[in-house]
Structure 1
Amino acid sequence: MKRLWPLIALGVGAFILFAVTTLPAGVVFSWLGSSGVSAGGVSGTIWNGRAQVLQIQGVNIGGVEWDLHALALLTGRLSADVKVTRIDGFATTQVSATPAGTIRLKDLTASLPLSALPPNVIPGGWAGTLNGKFAQLTLEKGWPTQVDGTLDIVDLTGPARKPANAGSYRLVLDPAASNAEVLKGAISDGGDGPLQVAGTLELRPDRSYKLDALISARPNAPRNLVQALEFLGPPDAQGRRQFATEGSL
Structure 2
Amino acid sequence: MNYKKIIPAAIGLYLVFLVVLAPAAWWLKLVPLPAQVQLGPVTGTLWQGQVQAVSLNGYVLPQVNWQLKPWAFLMGKVALDLDIGQIRQTTSPYAKAQLSYGFSGFELESSQLRLPVEPIIPLLKLPLPFQVAASGNMLLNIQKFSMGKPWCEQLSGKASWLEAKFQAPSGWIDLKAIDVNLSCEQGQLQLVTEPGNPLALNVTALIGEQGKYQLNGTMKPDASLPKEVHQAMQFVGQPDAEGRFTLKLQSR
User: TM-score of the superposition, structure 2-length normalised?
Assistant: 0.77
Q: Is the 8 A contact 1:155 1:165 kept in 2?
A: no
Per-residue deviation, residues 26-81 of structure 1 (Å, max 9, x unmatched): 11222225455543232221111222212356543321111112343455532101
Gaps of 5+ in 1: none
1:164 to 160, 172, 175: 172
Amino acid at match of 1:19: L
Gaps of 5+ in 2: none
Amino acid at match of 1:202: L
Once residues 13 and 97 of structure 1 are traced to their aligned partners in structure 2, the CA distance between those partners, rounded to angstroms, is 22
Q: Which residue in 1 is equivalent to 2:228?
A: 224
Once residues 119 and 140 of structure 1 are traced to their aligned partners in structure 2, the CA distance between those partners, rounded to angstroms, is 31
Per-residue deviation, residues 136-170 of structure 1 (Å, max 9, x unmatched): 13456995563211100123344687763251211
Q: Is the 8 A contact 1:126 1:156 kept in 2?
A: no
SS in 2 for 1:217: coil
Deviation at 1:118, TM superposition (A): 9.0
Q: Which residue in 2 is equivalent to 1:186?
A: 192
Whether 1:85 and 2:91 are equivalent positions in the alignment is no
Once residues 212 and 59 of structure 1 are traced to their aligned partners in structure 2, the CA distance between those partners, rounded to angstroms, is 31
- Shift of the 42–221 alpha-carbon distance from structure 1 to 2, 3 Å rule, reads same
Once residues 61 and 142 of structure 1 are traced to their aligned partners in structure 2, the CA distance between those partners, rounded to angstroms, is 28
Q: CA RMSD in A?
A: 3.5
Deviation at 1:94, TM superposition (A): 0.5
Deviation at 1:84, TM superposition (A): 0.9
Deviation at 1:112, TM superposition (A): 1.1
Q: Which residue in 2 is equivalent to 1:51?
A: 51
Once residues 220 and 18 of structure 2 are traced to their aligned partners in structure 1, the CA distance between those partners, rounded to angstroms, is 63
Deviation at 1:133, TM superposition (A): 1.2
SS in 1 for 2:31: helix
Once residues 221 and 151 of structure 1 are traced to their aligned partners in structure 2, the CA distance between those partners, rounded to angstroms, is 23
Once residues 41 and 107 of structure 2 are traced to their aligned partners in structure 1, the CA distance between those partners, rounded to angstroms, is 27
Once residues 226 and 168 of structure 2 are traced to their aligned partners in structure 1, the CA distance between those partners, rounded to angstroms, is 16
SS in 1 for 2:29: helix
Whether 1:247 and 2:246 are equivalent positions in the alignment is no
Once residues 148 and 38 of structure 2 are traced to their aligned partners in structure 1, the CA distance between those partners, rounded to angstroms, is 24
- Shift of the 53–99 alpha-carbon distance from structure 1 to 2, 3 Å rule, reads farther
User: TM-score of the superposition, structure 1-length normalised?
Assistant: 0.78
- Shift of the 115–226 alpha-carbon distance from structure 1 to 2, 3 Å rule, reads closer
Once residues 156 and 232 of structure 2 are traced to their aligned partners in structure 1, the CA distance between those partners, rounded to angstroms, is 34
Q: Which residue in 2 is equivalent to 1:201?
A: 205
Whether 1:108 and 2:111 are equivalent positions in the alignment is yes
1:148 to 150, 156, 160: 156
Once residues 131 and 29 of structure 1 are traced to their aligned partners in structure 2, the CA distance between those partners, rounded to angstroms, is 29
Amino acid at match of 1:179: Q
- Shift of the 239–67 alpha-carbon distance from structure 1 to 2, 3 Å rule, reads same
